[in-house]
Amino acid sequence: MEKFDFVLLAAGQGKRLRPITNSYPKTMVRILDKPLLEWIVEGIAGAFGDSVGRILIVVGFERHKITEYFQKHPAMQKIVFVEQKEQKGTADAVLQAEKLVESDRFFVLNADTFFDPKFFELLKRNADSQPFLIAKREEDASAYGVVEVEGGNLVGLVEKPLEATNKLISTGTLFMPRQFFEYLKNVKVSKRNEYEITDALSDFASKQKLRVLEFDSYWTDVGYYWNYIAASEYALQNLMEPKIEGKVEDFVVVKGKLRVGKGSVVKSGTYIEGNVFIGENTIVGPSAYLRKGVVIEDNCHIGNSTEVKSSIIMHNSNAAHLSYIGDSIICENVNFGAGTKIANLKFDHSAISIKQEAGKVASGRDKLGAVVGKNTKTGINVSINCGVLIGENCKISPAAYVYNNLENDAVFKG
């Protein structure tokens, strides 16, 4: 039986996701309380079984967060960590694994993406064919590498064109022969001062056939926090199995799918519209309102008359009294004072943008809340505006209105 090695690119920080990724790599962002990277490792193991040779994980930023997490993972016997000491681009990242790839043909995957598990079936089904690239059709492809195809084969790649609608984009997933490493070595530094794998692919495709296979199910680059929310909602709807391991008290209304972890309690009077994921040792209610698209991780408290919609609330965070959290990400160890609310809709219903170091970014969404970084605390009756990014370790005074981004360690009095 032929075995295949897998090179997983997990070295980047994910700067567009800050402050979520201030302290750990983007590949460790969690969907249903499981890191993106773990979804991929388990997907490979499940689909390929004994055909898996090595799983080579290229690490960089906060690499110990990845290596420590996987030390006790069942797939660890197949995993080898490779360090990319400097962030020099995707071509350089793949090259770090060259000496450790043992199979004649190998896979490359970006480990900061999320997709339906059918993706792995597509890989396995075509692993006996010629080299290929997996593409996905996107309505707005301007932020990706757009794939040009003739006769089912790659003829060109255009990196992040200014305008591209309803185009095929590269998912960064490849099935290549070992000789591809020679093409990677010939890549020149780009205008972005990086060694781009797209240049190696264009060179390879000019000399031999590189099939383009289109994936027609769910796939997303978890680039911005609204992509993160959307990925979470997809997983809740399509991948989560309903299961009650904790306690749901009498007089709780549940509609849609619900998962409750061990040691968790959903108290009387709570109304759950689903789909909702509740982790372990978490208390919800009494009389809380959880609308669809909600993930609440371990050791949280969502209390009396607090309403949550389409949001992710991470470990050890609390909104115990009279809060509203909509279309938002609440990071670890955050505490909301009573009456803290996050706006998620403008008066004129216009699309919401966020401000980042590189400039203003349009979300394309008319409903979008905020990101609150870990260890941040708010006083009572704090209001947070749409599209605001609040850093880590912030302290926000009672009755303050947060209308702009806050840097880490800010003390904001309003």
Round to whole Å and give the CA distance between 383 and 392. Answer: 17
Q: What are phi and psi of 383, to 5 degrees?
A: -120, 135
Which residues, 6 or more positions from 374, have their beta carbon under 8 angstroms from its beta carbon? Answer: 19, 22, 23, 314, 331, 332, 333, 334, 392, 393
Which residues, 6 or more positions from 195, have their beta carbon under 8 angstroms from its beta carbon? Answer: 88, 89, 90, 91, 92, 184, 187, 188, 189
Which one-letter amino acid corresponds to residue 364?
G
315 counts as catalytic: no
Contact criterion met (CB below 8 Å) for 145 and 90: no
Sheet holding 276-278: strands in order across?
243-244, 258-260, 276-278, 294-296, 312-313, 329-330, 371-372, 389-390
Q: How far apart are the first and last CA of the chain?
A: 65
Rg over CA atoms, the chain: 22
Sign of CA dihedral 179, 180, 181, 185: positive
Q: Which of 64, 73, 315, 321 is catalytic?
A: 321
Which residues are designated catalytic?
Answer: 321
